[in-house]
Homo-oligomer: A and B are copies of this chain.
Amino acid sequence: MHMMDTPLLLTGFFKRAERYFGHKKIYSRTGPETMHEFTYKEYAERTRRLASSLTKLGMTRGTKIATFCWNDHRHLEMYFAVPCSEAILHTVNIRLSPEHIVYVINHAEDDVLIVDHTLLKLIEAVAPLLKTVKTFIVCGDAVDVSATTLPNVYSYEDLIQSGDPTHVFAEDFDENTPAGMCYTSATTGMPKGVVYTHRSIVLHSFAMMFKDSVALSEHDIMLPIVPMFHVNAWGMPFVCVNLGATQVLPGPLFTPELLLDLCEQYGVTISAGVPTIWLGFLQEQKKKPRDLSSLRLIVSGGSASPISMAKAFEEMGITFYTGYGMTETSPLVSVSIYTSQTEQYDYEERMDIRTTQGLTVPLVEARIVNENGDVPWDDETMGELIVKGPWIAAEYYRDERTNDAFKDGWLYTGDIAVYTKDGNIRITDRTKDLIKSGGEWISSIELENALMSYEKVAEAAVIAVPHPKWLERPVACVVVKEEFKDTVTKEELLDHLRQDFARLWIPDDVVFLEEIPKTSVGKFLKQQLREDLKDYQLPE
């Protein structure tokens, strides 16, 4: 061994914060009116106490500990206490259906379940169906565990109290040791599990610390709006601890008003979340402007951001990045930074770049491929985005569906994209929503965006309908804004599209609906829409 065999472990992140940034602060909103505030020194001590108590309860290498919690300081304690003990943190999505909650906990074979007291009822209802959980832990400020129906139950704060603040973590285990798990919803069937390792989390964290990426710093004050049960809140809690960055954890059920108040009050410099959050954020800021002068960067991801959103932040002097990734990719694959070339572009072009999925970060390799191989950088030729890299999953956990997505060492993302002329990734569709018409690929998302930019349209979804000659043809499903009801014609909408799209792309028909069916997180449920329209006949 020429160089030291130092494994890439989360214990190193934890020790760094403890050693150098003990004075730094973590703020954690534990309820509508309560803000818990403590230092990294106190955080580290509580985390060691927690690890010690969990170890006494039987946690050892490979033990799976499920969490059912919000973005708060206790969840952050679990984020390190568990993996630093060589155990595995399974963050369960609290928004899953009871059936899926039971499935993921049983499938992961979780041994312990830590649940926030505000979510206790959801777990009590399914507890009898959980086959492997032997121990329950309830967290909250003043929890009375005698009041719950859960068996073998402990109070989180009691465990902290009885824990050893000098508990020592091992530092010499294999960097490929599993550290965390997260399940992602599937189009059909049960959620699919992804297992993150110490190595994958450490390297992914670095990708967020690069200057040519999110450039997270100790100087940052981070408000993570992505839930900590969703792809590790995009990995931000790990990075923040490594850096000793100030964290402002928003806790349960927040509103745009609250987020803005937190930004102003704590001088937040960076925040990350889905576009819906930023829409509400911008509306609220317009209604009642806060001092956001400390805010340097917004990272938006999870679905497409409209250019108007990028412009609104830009005009406030706040950089707006679109990031791309998924549960399988830890998630960071690419981010819409400017290069020394694209920063010279004019305003409209720059704002357009901010809404692309951006440039691949170092160590991740991405290709966009169709039946002719790699697509050219022409902003036009579509293909499926495939990726590989050290923080990209190699499989779904004990799941036959692995073979559908992982082939020849690449993850097939199921996203259809083009490369812009500068090498930025621009997602144009999901593979399953793409319309394939007479050899041409038609992007449903581009048509939808164009329809929704028309002032009379509230929502629009474009789907493929079978066609005898062209195989598939696009049909637009449109919800008209209340004030324009019954005043919009099909031709008017199609004319609007004809300004920007080739003839082949223009939908064969427009169907007016009262509502577009949606998933629990507000994405269009096109599968449902296709089902609803299965008896629909194209006009002659």
Contact = CB atoms under 8 A, between A and B. Distances in A.
Interface stretch (A378-386, A388-396, A432-440, A517-525): A388-396
A423 interface: yes
B210 A206 contact: yes
Contacts of A343: 219
Contacts of A2: 176, 178, 194-197, 200, 393-395, 397
A395 B200 contact: no
Given A15-B365, A20-B360, A206-B362, 17 more contacts: A2-B197, A2-B394, A3-B200, A3-B390, A3-B392, A4-B392, A4-B394, A8-B363, A13-B362, A20-B339, A20-B359, A24-B340, A209-B362, A211-B216, A212-B217, A212-B219, A243-B362
Task: Tell me if A's interface is mostly helix, strand, loop or mixed.
Answer: loop
A90 interface: no
24 contacts: A1-B394, A1-B395, A2-B176, A2-B197, A2-B394, A2-B395, A3-B176, A3-B199, A4-B389, A6-B388, A6-B389, A12-B362, A15-B365, A20-B359, A20-B423, A21-B339, A24-B340, A209-B209, A210-B210, A210-B211, A218-B340, A219-B339, A219-B340, A243-B362
A219 B395 CA distance: 36
A132 to B, nearest CB: 19
Interface in A316-366: 339-341, 343, 359-360, 362-363, 365
Q: List 6 A-B pairs, minimum CB-CB distance, nearest first.
A: A2-B195, A211-B215, A6-B390, A3-B200, A211-B217, A209-B210
A197 B363 contact: no
Contacts of A216: 211
Interface string A1-29: 11111101000110110011101100000
Contacts of A3: 176, 195-197, 199-200, 390-394
Contacts of A4: 388-390, 392-394, 409, 411
Please tell me how many copies of the chain the complex holds.
Answer: 2
A204 B91 CA distance: 32
Nearest to A197: B3
B212 A243 contact: yes
Interface residues of A, number: 59
A360 B12 CA distance: 12
Contacts of A209: 209-212, 362
Interface in A173-201: 176, 178, 194-197, 199-200
A47 interface: no
Nearest to A217: B211
A20 B360 CA distance: 9
Contacts of A428: none
A67 interface: no
A444 interface: no
Nearest to A201: B3
A8 B15 CA distance: 24
A212 B218 contact: yes
Contacts of A388: 4, 6
Contacts of A341: 23
Contacts of A53: none
A242 interface: yes
Interface in A372-419: 388-395, 397, 409, 411
Nearest to A2: B195
A44 B389 CA distance: 22
B363 A218 contact: no
Nearest to A393: B3
A203 to B, nearest CB: 8
A242 B5 contact: no
A209 B209 CA distance: 8
